[in-house]
């Protein structure tokens, strides 16, 4: 080979990457706001090994996941190949492999093993490329964008594999090597070339070698300009993922001080995102798994998490020179309205289905909420329906604006003690707004009270002193209102020295458990699904009456994906004699959102092909149930409405507490 040509290629390729492409992307990322992501280094490294190196999420996607693993494994093994070929440009030895990876008739054992593995992976990479070509061009999966960039990347990867194989085959034929089981692909290609002239073999060998080197260096410089940038940024993006509780949103500190200093509340412009959010944008693979999982996207809404990230990234890249220059202020371009359609922002249910599927751990909920915070608190631009909810929360402590003195009206005729009368109670039962005011959800509260009384649980409720936890306000972007509600509730709870809280609402559960500690509220919070399962295990509740029904359980997003509570509600149902529990195709961590989260319950759904609760109830009805069970008052309302719209009066919609009470009473 030619050391001068190799030196020139390496100098140009690596020089362009290090001193131009990479450093500009680095400077652009540093435009973002600070974010602390250097804690728990051991845990971060373990997660990176598992999910980035080990590709742990990929098998969830079956054929596409397997194809990606093939290509990923090939890329990893070809990194060593690149280092070996770089060295061969300087030595006159086609078998050189840093001594321990030497190939050929007299090769080292490790070199033989590596050669065999490399040839196998070259074939598997080509198989993976074929699968993605099929998905993009023939089957045309909606989540995969069919464009020139995608096809170019597949072509480059194909070229890398073929030039490597050509180099091996021509080298073996040129130097008259016999077929080797350690180099099966090279041996296969060498066979038809053995009769060629020395000049032809030399040409093909150099074509494969220099073609492969050029593609490597060229692709390396192309990566930061295309979706394959995740090959570089994916590992650090997984490493720097948010390790705080999934159900916790970062509070805006010193709200009043920010207003006085005229600082922006929430995110208005691309440069106000953190450097980690910008790294998210770099790392998007455009695989579309997030869009496939998104309930808004699945029902024809404008929202696509993938498109949101791509639009933000395109805006970032188009303004790169402006944003990273040292002198002058960049133009103040609001993302929502000028880059992102407002419908995308308000269609999000904060269900986290997109985040659950993302192979590189891109976060979305925090971004959408931060954009909403700016729209609500700075511009006063939000769906009109939310005004009623905000006003009700401000004036009456609940989104319907109903009187506080009616919070315990559902308990008429049932012994439900107030904590003001029973301050020594072991548990504070946080009833929640819907279970207190919604006529359908009131029956859940009544069943729960009867179960607690039958089990002899020492509990009490706040009654008129209870106000909304603020989940709806916070997810809708009204951080001011949320913090007022949170501080009020924490003051009341701490005043009664509350330590343990039970609740039947996953939204209340999540807020009390994960977000109130930021405001001085530290409690042991238990969802009623877990609590009833515990009471049954302890023998304090004994389901004896048969409930001879086929029941399908719907997973609440804030119970499941947010808090990993999947089995306890099912455990409760399985202990009931006669219950035949069945599973919907989309269940557990892939359970589809009912459409109520993220303040959607209190606003009209964005236009689409179908309502989210209708699609979800159709999925549940496919299991042929007599009862659809749930463990969330928001889900109960949406699923009940869905059954009504489908004219399915023959199917009941019950909370697990109601089903359990039928067996216990």
522-537 per-position pLDDT tens digit: 999 999 999 999 999 9
Q: What is the DSSP letter of 340?
A: B
Helix, strand, coil percentages, rounded to 5, for the chain: 60, 5, 35
- Residue 233's contacts (CB-CB under 8 Å, 6 or more residues apart) are 279, 282, 283, 360
Per the structure block, which two tokens stand in for 427?
């548990």
Q: What integer is the mean pLDDT of 567-591?
A: 96
pLDDT value of position 297: 96
The answer on pLDDT for 175 being more than 90 is no
Write out the two tokens for 397: 């402590």
pLDDT at 178 over 80: no
pLDDT value, residue 106: 80
- In the prediction, which pLDDT does 394 show? 96
The pLDDT value recorded for residue 616 is 98
Show the DSSP H helices in 195-274 as ranges: 198-222, 230-239, 255-260
Q: What is the pLDDT of residue 259?
A: 67
pLDDT at 465 over 80: yes
Q: Does residue 523 sit in helix, strand or coil?
A: coil
Phi, psi of 430 (to 5 degrees): -85, 105
CA distance 663 to 577: 8
When pLDDT is cut at 50, 70 and 90, the band that residue 87 belongs to is very high
φ, ψ for residue 418, nearest 5 deg: -85, 145
Distance between CA atoms of residues 234 and 52, nearest Å: 7
Tens digits of residue pLDDT in 300-319: 999 999 999 999 999 999 99
Which helix (H) or strand (E) is 531 found in, with range?
helix 528-537
Model confidence at 653: pLDDT above 80: yes
What are the structure tokens assigned to 656, written together?
């697990």
CA-to-CA separations, 51 to 46, 48, 68, 238, 360, in angstroms, rounded:
9, 5, 13, 7, 8
**Mean pLDDT of the 106-132 span:** 92
In this prediction, residue 116 carries a pLDDT of 93
| Residue 8 neighbours by CB under 8 Å, 6+ apart | none
Please report the pLDDT score of residue 401 as a whole number: 95
Cβ neighbours for 147, distance < 8 A, ≥ 6 positions apart: none
Provide DSSP, 74-95: HHHHHHHHHHHHHHHTTSS-TT
Residue 143's pLDDT is: 80
Residue 129 backbone dihedrals phi, psi, to 5 degrees: -60, -40
In angstroms, rounded to a whole number, what is the distance separating the alpha carbons of residues 429 and 500?
9
Domains of the chain: 3-28+41-239 (1.20.950), 255-382 (1.10.1060), 396-664 (no CATH)
SS3 call for 446 = helix
213-265, pLDDT tens digit by residue?
999 999 999 999 999 999 999 999 999 999 998 899 999 987 877 766 667 89
Mean residue pLDDT across the chain: 94
- State the pLDDT at residue 167: 94
**Residue 260 has what pLDDT?**
67
Sign of CA dihedral 53, 58, 59, 65: negative
Question: What digits encode the pLDDT tens for the residues 606-616?
Answer: 999 999 999 99
pLDDT confidence of residue 264: 85
Report whether pLDDT(177) > 80: no
User: What's the rounded mean pLDDT across residues 629-648?
Assistant: 96
State the average pLDDT over residues 394-399: 96
pLDDT exceeding 70 applies to what percent of the chain?
A: 99
The pLDDT of residue 145 is above 90: no
């Amino acid at each position: 080979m030619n050391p001068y040509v190799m030196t020139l290629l390496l100098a140009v390729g690596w020089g362009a990457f290090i001193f131009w492409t990479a450093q500009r992307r680095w400077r652009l990322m540093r435009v973002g706001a600070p974010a602390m992501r250097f804690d728990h280094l051991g845990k971060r490294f373990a997660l990176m090994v598992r999910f980035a190196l080990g590709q742990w999420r990929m098998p969830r996607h079956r054929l596409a996941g397997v194809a990606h693993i093939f290509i990923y494994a090939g890329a990893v093994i070809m990194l060593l190949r690149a280092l070996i070929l770089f060295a061969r440009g300087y030595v006159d030895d086609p078998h050189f492999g840093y001594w321990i990876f030497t190939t050929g008739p007299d090769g080292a054992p490790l070199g033989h093993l590596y050669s065999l593995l490399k040839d196998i992976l070259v074939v598997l990479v080509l198989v993976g490329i074929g699968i993605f070509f099929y998905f993009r061009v023939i089957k045309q999966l909606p989540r995969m964008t069919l464009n020139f960039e995608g096809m170019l990347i597949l072509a480059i990867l194909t070229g890398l594999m073929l030039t490597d194989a050509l180099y091996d085959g021509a080298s073996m034929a040129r130097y008259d090597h016999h077929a080797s089981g350690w180099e099966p692909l090279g041996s296969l290609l060498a066979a038809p070339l053995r009769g060629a002239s020395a000049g032809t073999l030399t040409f093909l060998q150099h074509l494969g070698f220099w073609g492969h080197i050029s593609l490597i260096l060229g692709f390396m410089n192309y990566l930061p300009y295309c979706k394959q940038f995740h090959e570089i940024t994916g590992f650090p993006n997984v490493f720097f993922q948010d390790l705080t509780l999934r159900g916790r949103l970062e509070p805006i500190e010193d709200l009043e001080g920010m207003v006085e200093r005229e600082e922006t509340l929430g995110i208005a412009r691309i440069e106000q995102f953190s450097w980690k959010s910008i790294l998210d944008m770099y790392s998007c693979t455009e695989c579309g798994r997030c869009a496939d999982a998104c309930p808004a996207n699945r029902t024809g809404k404008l929202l696509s998490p993938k498109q949101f990230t791509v639009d933000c990234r395109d805006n970032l890249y188009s303004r790169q020179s402006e944003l990273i220059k040292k002198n002058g202020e960049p133009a103040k371009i609001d993302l929502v309205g000028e880059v992102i359609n407002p419908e995308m922002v308000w269609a999000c249910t904060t269900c986290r289905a997109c985040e659950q599927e993302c192979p590189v751990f891109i976060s979305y909920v925090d971004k959408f909420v931060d954009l909403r915070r700016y729209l609500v608190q700075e511009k006063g631009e939000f769906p009109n329906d939310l005004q009623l909810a905000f006003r009700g929360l401000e004036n009456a402590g609940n989104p319907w604006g109903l009187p506080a003195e009616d919070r315990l009206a559902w308990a008429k005729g049932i012994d439900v003690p107030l904590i003001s009368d029973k301050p020594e109670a072991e548990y504070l039962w946080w009833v929640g707004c819907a279970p207190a005011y919604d006529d359908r959800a009131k029956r859940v509260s009544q069943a729960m009270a009867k179960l607690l009384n039958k089990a002899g649980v020492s509990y009490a409720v706040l009654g008129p002193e209870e106000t909304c936890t603020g989940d709806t306000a916070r997810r809708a972007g009204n951080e001011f209102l949320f913090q007022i509600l949170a501080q009020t509730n924490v003051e009341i709870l701490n005043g009664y020295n509350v330590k343990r809280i039970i609740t039947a609402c996953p939204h209340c559960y999540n807020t009390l458990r994960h977000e109130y500690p930021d405001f001085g509220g530290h409690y042991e919070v238990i969802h009623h699904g877990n609590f009833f399962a515990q009471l049954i295990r302890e023998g304090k509740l004994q389901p004896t009456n048969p409930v001879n029904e086929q029941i399908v359980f719907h997973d609440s997003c804030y119970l499941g994906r947010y808090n990993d509570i999947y089995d306890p509600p099912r455990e409760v149902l399985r202990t009931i004699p006669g219950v035949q529990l069945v599973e919907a195709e989309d269940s557990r961590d892939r359970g589809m959102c009912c459409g109520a989260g993220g303040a959607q319950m209190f606003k009209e759904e964005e236009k689409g092909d179908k309502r989210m609760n209708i699609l979800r109830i159709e999925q549940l009805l496919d299991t042929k149930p007599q009862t659809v069970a749930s463990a969330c008052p928001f889900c109960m309302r949406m699923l009940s409405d869905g059954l009504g719209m489908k004219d399915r009066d023959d199917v009941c919609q019950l909370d697990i507490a109601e089903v359990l009470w039928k067996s216990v009473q």
